Chains A and B, each alone.
Chain A
Amino acid sequence: METTAVEYVVFALCAVIVLAGAFGVIWFRNPVQAALSLVATLFGVAVLFLNMNAQFLAAVQVIVYTGAIVVLILFVIMLLGVDVEEDLEEEPLVGQRVIALVIAAGVAGLVVAGVTLGGADLVSGARSVTGSIVDDVSNIEQIGRLLFTEYVFALEITAVLLTIAVIAAVVMSRRPSEVEPLPAENASMEPPEPMEPEAEEVFD
């Protein structure tokens, strides 16, 4: 497949947007600003998907990530009222930031070296016979055919996983009404009437 100039230009623009948004996620001290720059990153990644002829994935990326996940994250930020600025200067663990920088830069250096020094033989292995992309069949039809033939069990297991995750999220975030705090040591001596809030302080 020939690479056109348009592909280069789109890639360069999107790469700048993606990386700027990603740096925003780790630099902004306000969580709301970080979440909004995460939106920029996710949109850039969606355009990159379009650049790679993955039209369905680009739509899914916008709908699921920016439409659902980031909205959920922003909702939790607002709900908890934790949109206060985090002090990035303070280090709870000594040297944590330096070590994290070394690890991240080291991994990046290794991968970049592997990709650039690997040359033309970087991608090896046999071409797939099950899911080869045919140009005259639409992208979504090919993915759907693959999902419901080759990976149908994985699809079903993903459905079960999503169900479990939804139930878990509902159960965990439900405010427990019938659950009482653990009684103090001598609570059995007390009459069964509920304790006063002031009395609770005494037992602590």
Chain B
Amino acid sequence: MLLNQFLLLAAVLFCIGVYGVLTRRNGVMVLMSIELILNAVNINLIAFGTYLSDATGQAFALFIIAVAAAEVGVGLAIVLMLFRNRRSIDIDAVDQLKG
């Protein structure tokens, strides 16, 4: 059973997602980068679960997938409202709450 290789791959995938979240200005692209991060976490959970021969990791990964689906639904609704109100989904331009 490979373990360290899976952990390294998940770490790199997580950091690519972090870079995407930090640099992208398109709201939809930020959501896609968050999906990369969640997938990295899922890889880790299942790798540890298989290494310890424990199905709990897979159950947790299932919960993460469900929460990711909910997150993307609400996130895309927010993007939709943003576009309807401002004609743009550039999230750097949304700074009305800045004091």
Contact = CB atoms under 8 A, between A and B. Distances in A.
Interface of A: 1, 3, 7-8, 11, 15, 18-19, 22-23, 25-26, 31, 34-35, 38, 41-42, 45, 48-49, 52-54, 56-57, 60-61, 64-65, 68-69, 72-73, 76-77, 79-80, 82, 86, 88, 92-93, 96-97, 99-101, 103-105, 107-108, 111-112, 115-116, 122-123, 127-128, 130-133, 139, 142-143, 146-147, 150-151, 154, 158, 161-162, 164-166, 168-169, 172-173, 175
Task: State the 3 A-B residue pairs at the shortest beta-carbon distance, nearest first.
Answer: A100-B22, A165-B70, A111-B11
Given A25-B20, A100-B23, A162-B66, A73 B72 contact: yes
Interface of B: 1-9, 11-20, 22-26, 28-29, 31-33, 35-36, 39, 42-43, 46-56, 58-59, 61-63, 65-74, 76-81, 83-84, 89, 92
A22 B28 contact: no
A18 B16 CA distance: 11
Contact of B12 (A53, A100, A108, A161): A108
A105 B15 contact: yes
A158 B35 contact: no
A161 B67 contact: yes
B36 A38 contact: yes
A100 B19 contact: yes
A26 B24 CA distance: 8
A154 B63 contact: yes
A170 to B, nearest CB: 8
Contact of B35 (A65, A122, A139): A65
Given A64-B65, A88-B23, A162-B66, 5 more contacts: A7-B2, A15-B5, A19-B16, A64-B69, A158-B66
A22 B16 contact: yes
A8 to B, nearest CB: 7
Contacts of A162: 66, 69-70
Contacts of A18: 9, 13
Given A25-B33, A82-B83, A133-B55, A60 B62 contact: yes
Contacts of B18: 100, 103-104, 107
A172 B8 contact: no
Contact of A45 (B14, B23, B43, B78): B43
Contact of A104 (B22, B42, B69): B22
A104 B89 contact: no
B19 A130 contact: no
Given A35-B32, A154-B63, A131 B22 contact: no
